[in-house]
Homo-oligomer: A and B are copies of this chain.
Amino acid sequence: MRERIKEANRVALRRLLDAEPVLISVAQARDVVPGMGERMILHAGPPIEWERMCPPMRHGIIGGVLYEGWARTPDEVDRLVESGEVVLSPCHENSAVGSMAGITTPSMWMYEVEERSRGGRAYCGVYEGRGKTLAFGCFEQGTIDRLRWMETVLGPRLKQALAVLENGLPLKPIIAKALQMGDECHNRYVASTLWYMNELVRALLSDDVPSSEVEIVLRFMTDGHYNSFLTLSMAGCKAISDAAHGVAYSTLVTAMARNGTEFGIRVSGLGDQWFTAPAQMIQGLYFPGHDESEANPDIGDSSITETVGLGAFALVGAPVTMQVIGKGLDEALRIEQEMSEITMGRNEMFTLPYLDSRGTPVGIDIRKVVETNITPVCVTAMASTAPNVGMIGAGVVRQPVACFQDALKAFANQHRDRQA
A contact set with B: CB distance below 8 Å: 180-182, 190-191, 194-195, 197-198, 201-202, 204-212, 214-215, 218-219, 222, 319-320, 323, 329, 353-354, 356-357
30 of the cross-chain contacts (CB-CB < 8 Å) are A180-B182, A180-B320, A181-B181, A181-B182, A181-B191, A182-B182, A182-B353, A191-B194, A194-B194, A194-B195, A201-B201, A201-B218, A202-B218, A204-B211, A205-B212, A205-B218, A206-B211, A206-B215, A207-B211, A208-B211, A208-B212, A211-B214, A214-B214, A319-B353, A319-B354, A319-B357, A320-B353, A329-B354, A329-B356, A354-B354
CB distance from A355 to the nearest CB of B (A): 9
- Cβ–Cβ < 8 Å partners of A319 in chain B: 180, 353-354, 357
Give A320 to B181 CA distance when docked, in angstroms: 9
- Cβ–Cβ < 8 Å partners of A205 in chain B: 211-212, 214-215, 218
CB < 8 Å neighbour of A197 from B198, B209, B210: B198
Determine which residue in A190, A191, A198, A211 has the highest number of CB atoms from chain B within 10 A of its CB, and name it: A211
- Cβ–Cβ < 8 Å partners of A357 in chain B: 319, 323
Give A207 to B191 CA distance when docked, in angstroms: 26
- Cβ–Cβ < 8 Å partners of A197 in chain B: 198
Give A198 to B180 CA distance when docked, in angstroms: 19
CB distance from A223 to the nearest CB of B (A): 10
- Cβ–Cβ < 8 Å partners of A214 in chain B: 205, 211, 214
- Cβ–Cβ < 8 Å partners of A210 in chain B: 211
- Cβ–Cβ < 8 Å partners of A181 in chain B: 181-182, 190-191
Closest 8 interchain pairs by CB?
A: A319-B353, A205-B215, A194-B194, A181-B181, A205-B211, A181-B182, A208-B211, A180-B320
CB < 8 Å neighbour of A194 from B198, B215, B218, B356: B198
CB distance from A117 to the nearest CB of B (A): 27
CB distance from A215 to the nearest CB of B (A): 4
Give A181 to B179 CA distance when docked, in angstroms: 9
Residue of B nearest to A317 (CB): B319
- Cβ–Cβ < 8 Å partners of A182 in chain B: 180-182, 353
In the bound complex, do residue A215 and residue B202 qualify as a contact, i.e. CB atoms below 8 Å apart? yes
Give A357 to B198 CA distance when docked, in angstroms: 29
Residue of B nearest to A323 (CB): B357
Give A379 to B210 CA distance when docked, in angstroms: 42
- Cβ–Cβ < 8 Å partners of A212 in chain B: 205-206, 208
- Cβ–Cβ < 8 Å partners of A198 in chain B: 194, 197, 222
Give A211 to B207 CA distance when docked, in angstroms: 8
Give A203 to B130 CA distance when docked, in angstroms: 23
Give A323 to B215 CA distance when docked, in angstroms: 36
Give A71 to B278 CA distance when docked, in angstroms: 80
Residue of B nearest to A222 (CB): B198
Residue of B nearest to A178 (CB): B181
- Cβ–Cβ < 8 Å partners of A208 in chain B: 211-212
Residue of B nearest to A226 (CB): B198
CB distance from A221 to the nearest CB of B (A): 11
- Cβ–Cβ < 8 Å partners of A201 in chain B: 201, 218
CB distance from A58 to the nearest CB of B (A): 38
- Cβ–Cβ < 8 Å partners of A320 in chain B: 180, 353
CB distance from A197 to the nearest CB of B (A): 7
Give A207 to B206 CA distance when docked, in angstroms: 18
Further 17 A-B residue pairs, CB within 8 A, beyond A194-B198, A209-B211, A319-B354: A180-B319, A181-B182, A181-B190, A182-B182, A182-B353, A194-B195, A202-B219, A204-B211, A205-B211, A205-B214, A205-B215, A205-B218, A208-B211, A211-B211, A211-B214, A214-B214, A319-B357
